[in-house]
Every structure is written in structure tokens, then in C-alpha cells.
Amino acid sequence: MDFLQQQLLQNDQLVDSIRQQLGGVEKEQATTAAQTALTALVTTLAKNAQQPEQAQNMLRAIDRDHDGSLLDYAQEFLSGQFQPENPKSTDGAGILRHLLGKRQDAIAQVVAQTSGISLEQGSSLLKMLAPLVMGAVGKVRRESGLGLDDIVQMLSGSVQKQQSSNPVLGMITQLLDQDGDGSAVDDIAKMGMRMLGNWFGKSK
């Protein structure tokens, strides 16, 4: 998660590309929305990886479609100008179907409500960032030779490390622990907005 935040959210050009793809939203909105989306995607990967069958499916998908090379073309990808050799490497909608399932709309709603963008924009952002998250895991696996257990520990450790500093993580975790019907989204999102407001206030 730290790697993705540094690669994406501290790069003004990439943030501007995200803003443009979302219809020209404010920079703070784009950054907050991307932060929430990355948190949701990495947390979901970590949660799914705790299940042996899902962990094996994740590893097969990484080895087949996500070698990390997409990160070298992040600017082109986020600008909508990248044509991959393997279309599955950039198929954000397909990744979300496997990763979030029926929770897609609920997570998109949290992304939207914590940043002030629309539900449609939140959904689009998740589709944009999902391939980059998978690419980041694939890059680490390829460069460091990590096995499945190592990847599971890496994902879990990333989430645990963020618990005290990322105000959105607890909200996302609670939502993922729900039954997926979205009934708790409004209360959780409102809680997240209060947490973000306090967090931004302290950081100024």
C-alpha cells in the first residue's frame, strides 16, 4: 500500500490523469478517492488471501496476467492511451468481479461518499486502480521471488501497518465483514467522512 501511494498519489502527473478521467474533479477529491480505493482493494486482497482456494486463484491470476510491467506505463494507462499485449492485465471490471463480487457498488459508494465524487466516478476509479494494484503485487513477486505464503503475509502486513495511520481502513474492514447487501454503507461512510475530516484537520 505504501508503494502504491508513493507511486500514484505523490506523482502530480498521475493524480492529474486520474482527475481528468473522473471528469475534472478537484485534486483533493481525486487524492482522497484514490486513497480510499487503494485501501479497499489492498484490504480485500488481504482478506481474500486468507482463504486457501482464493489465495491460489489470486496467485494464478498474478502469474498469468499481472507481471508488474503495467506500472511502467501507469501514465499512459491512466490517461487511457495504453494498449496492452495482454488485455486481461488492464481489465479492471474483470478484476473487480473476482475481487469484490457483489460488494462492488458498496465499496464504490464509500469511495464516493468519503471524497465527494459521484457513485459512477467511484466505480470508475476502482476499475482504473484495480489493475495497478494487481500489477504491484505481481511486480513484487517477480522481483523478489515471493511464494504464496510470502504474498499473503505481505498483504496482511500492509493492512496491519496502516491500521493506526489510515482512517479509512477500519471502515472498509467493517464493510467487507458485512453480508454484502450494502445496508451498512451509509452509516459506515458517514463515520468515515467524520474520520477523514478530523484527519485532514490535524494534517493542516
pLDDT tier for residue 166 given thresholds of 50, 70 and 90: confident
Q: What share of the chain is helix, strand, coil (3-state, %, to 5)?
A: 80, 0, 20
8 A C-beta contact, residue 132 and residue 76: no
8 A C-beta contact, residue 121 and residue 112: yes
Please report the pLDDT score of residue 190 as a whole number. Answer: 54
Please report the pLDDT score of residue 161 as a whole number. Answer: 81
Q: Please give the average per-residue pLDDT across 148-166, as a whole number.
A: 85
Please report the pLDDT score of residue 94 as a whole number. Answer: 96
C-alpha cell at 25: 474533479
Give SS3 for 183. Answer: coil
C-alpha cell at 27: 485534486
Predicted TM-score of the model (pTM) = 0.85
Burial bucket for residue 11 (CB in 10 Å: 0-12, 13-18, 19+):
middle
Please report the pLDDT score of residue 2 as a whole number. Answer: 77
Please report the pLDDT score of residue 149 as a whole number. Answer: 93
180: left (phi over 0), alpha (psi -120 to 50) or beta: left
Q: Report the domain count for the chain.
A: 1
C-alpha cell at 105: 457498488
Instruction: Give the closest residue to 199 by CA, choosing from 173, 162, 174.
Output: 162
Task: Render pLDDT for 26-42 as a digit per residue (tens, 0 to 9).
Answer: 999 999 999 999 999 99
Residue 165's CB: how many other CB atoms inside 10 A? 8
pLDDT tier for residue 17 given thresholds of 50, 70 and 90: very high
Residue 98's CB: how many other CB atoms inside 10 A? 15
Please report the pLDDT score of residue 117 as a whole number. Answer: 95
Q: Give the chain's length.
A: 204
Q: Please give the average per-residue pLDDT across 134-140, as a whole number.
A: 93
Higher pLDDT, 87 or 199: 87
Higher pLDDT, 98 or 8: 98
Instruction: Give the closest residue to 174 by CA, choosing from 155, 200, 153, 195.
Output: 195
Task: Render pLDDT for 39-85 as a digit per residue (tens, 0 to 9).
Answer: 999 999 999 999 999 999 999 999 999 999 999 999 999 998 898 99
Q: Note down the domain range covering 166.
A: 2-203
Return the minimum-mean-pLDDT range out of 97-111, 148-162, 189-203.
189-203
